[in-house]
Amino acid sequence: MKIIRYLILERLYEWSKLPYRFLFKSEAPWGISAKQLLTYPENSLGYHLGCFLLRNHFTPEPQLENHDIYHVLTNTGISVPEEIAMQFYLLGNGKRSLYLFIVIAIGSILFMDEIPHFREAFSKGRSAHMFYNLNFLKLLEQPLAQLQHTFKITLQ
């Protein structure tokens, strides 16, 4: 049964990326590859983003780059429950979007056994200073640890 829950959410995510970008994203893509990110200083957000992308065999998704930044800042993994927990973290941090609410609603139903983890993520997001809405492209050279400290981002 657990594998079915994972497959349902993974398929929904894949189907939703293009319409989400088309309907809700107006920012220009960053146009930076994972290898280019590795040219940033080793302690920087950009470098850690590049490592995250390469470690997980990802390429930057145009207009969705912030999503991977959230993973790096909060040290959140990429499993389905971790993805849902990250959305709870962002909700606690003040982010509001239709996509976030859909993920939280479906994720909460399919992963009721993870509710305590989701509550904890929400609480951590609430405790952090608002960071979800920053222009991360301009912060790629900043030290990751300093950003986490400044915004009181506690890790997952």
User: Where does residue 152 fall: left (phi above 0), alpha (psi -120 to 50 degrees), or beta otherwise?
Assistant: left
User: Distance of alpha carbon 102 from its chain centroid, rounded?
Assistant: 15
The 10s digit of each residue's pLDDT in 34-58 is 999 999 999 999 999 999 999 999 9
Q: Which has the minimum average pLDDT: 53-57, 61-65, 81-85, 90-94?
A: 61-65
* Cα gap 111→75, rounded to integer Å: 21
Domain ranges of the chain: 2-150
Mean pLDDT along residues 135-152 = 98
Contact 156, 75 (CB under 8 A): yes
CA dihedral 76, 3, 95, 141 (to 10 degrees): 30
Contact 12, 103 (CB under 8 A): no
Residue 113 has pLDDT above 80, yes or no: yes
Beta pairing partners, 143: 44
Q: Taking all residues of the chain, what is their mean pLDDT, rounded to a whole number?
A: 89
If one compares 106 and 51, the residue with the highest pLDDT of the two is 51
The 10s digit of each residue's pLDDT in 16-33 is 655 555 555 567 789 999
